Amino acid sequence: REGSMLQIGPYRLQVRYLSPPAALAPPRADHAGFLTKLHKIFPVAWDGDTLIVAPQGKSREFRYQDVQLETNAIITILRTHGFRNVLIDFSGVKLSGSLVVDSITQFCRAAAGIAAICSCSPEQHAALRDLNLISLWPCYPTREDGLRAIRTAAMAAPQPVEG
What is the C-alpha to C-alpha distance for residues 151 and 6, in angstroms, rounded to an integer?
A: 50
The pLDDT assigned to 24 comes to 35
The pLDDT assigned to 40 comes to 82
The pLDDT assigned to 158 comes to 63
What is the C-alpha to C-alpha distance for residues 13 and 72, in angstroms, rounded to an integer?
A: 46
The pLDDT assigned to 1 comes to 56
Kindly report the backbone phi and psi dihedral angles of residue 13, in degrees, each rounded to the nearest multiple of 5, phi listed first.
Answer: -115, 140
What is the C-alpha to C-alpha distance for residues 127 and 125, in angstroms, rounded to an integer?
A: 5
Gap between the terminal Cα atoms of the chain: 17
Amino acid making up residue 46: W
What is the C-alpha to C-alpha distance for residues 133 and 98, in angstroms, rounded to an integer?
A: 13
CA 123, 126, 127, 131: dihedral to nearest 10 degrees? 170
Give the domain ranges of the chain. Answer: 30-155
pLDDT single digits (tens) 12-71: 877 665 544 433 334 555 666 666 666 788 988 888 889 999 999 776 678 889 899 999
The pLDDT assigned to 160 comes to 57
**Superfamily the domain 30-155 falls into:** STAS domain (3.30.750.24)
Give Cα 27 to chain centroid, integer Å: 14
The pLDDT assigned to 4 comes to 75
- Residue (of 122, 72, 71, 67) closest to 95 by Cα position: 122
